Structure 1
Amino acid sequence: MNSEHEAVVSLHGYISGRVQGVSFRQSTAEQAEQLGIDGWVRNLPDGRVEVMCEGNRQAIEVMRKWLARGPKSAKVEAVELTEQGIQGIAGFIIR
């Protein structure tokens, strides 16, 4: 295995605050695409956004910081992300 593959990280979690109706999912997908991250994002009925993202550790750390801010129109109050096993998803989709 090369070191790039070994550095792949997968995160799953939830973002709370004013994160629906503010282009959070679309902005997350655009950010993921720029960073070369795979995964998905979706709104939940309770007002939170759920996200799963997978990529190299450096890109995932940038994504983690971005999720704590979100797009300008959002007001992120809490981010709960946990590392999980690699899912092997290709691409990033809005669910």
Structure 2
Amino acid sequence: MAKQCIKVRVKGKVQGVFFRKSTQQQAQALGISGYAKNLSDGSVEVLACGARDRLDSLLQFLKEGPPNAEVTQLAVEELFQEEPLGFVVK
């Protein structure tokens, strides 16, 4: 199964609501590597690498986020890079 990488910028009420930790848990359960980090503008950046169907599952999660999050926008960019090891919160 071919692996792909995407970078997602998630906007809305996504900081201070366990968004990064929840994303890490989802990614690890799906076997996806990458990271989730807060950006200075209040959004969260997610780098995710894995099989396309699993990335699609993660994107479904990112559209909603954890219970206290309010996602207003997702911007998805396809990347061509080496896959990182594991999934970390930055």
Q: TM-score, normalised by structure 2?
A: 0.96
Question: Is 1:30 aligned to 2:25, yes or no?
Answer: yes
Q: 2:81 aligns with which of 76, 81, 86?
A: 86
Greater radius of gyration (CA): 1
Calculate percent identity across the aligned residue pairs.
Answer: 37
Could you tell me the TM-score, scaled by structure 1's length?
Answer: 0.91
- 1:57 maps to 2:48: no
Following superposition, which runs of at least 4 residues in structure 1 exceed 3 angstroms of deviation? none
Q: Which runs of 5 or more structure 2 residues have no equivalent in the other structure?
A: none
Give the AA of the match of 1:32: A
Aligned residues: 90
Deviations 1:36-76 (A, max 9, x none): 00000100111000110000111000001111110011000
**Structure 1 gap segments, 5+ residues each:** none
Distance 1:81 1:41 in 2: 14
RMSD: 0.7
Please say which of residues 83-92 and 53-62 is displaced more in the overlay. Answer: 83-92
CA shift digits 1:64-89 (9 cap, x unpaired): 11111100110000000111103220
Give 1:9 shift: 1.2
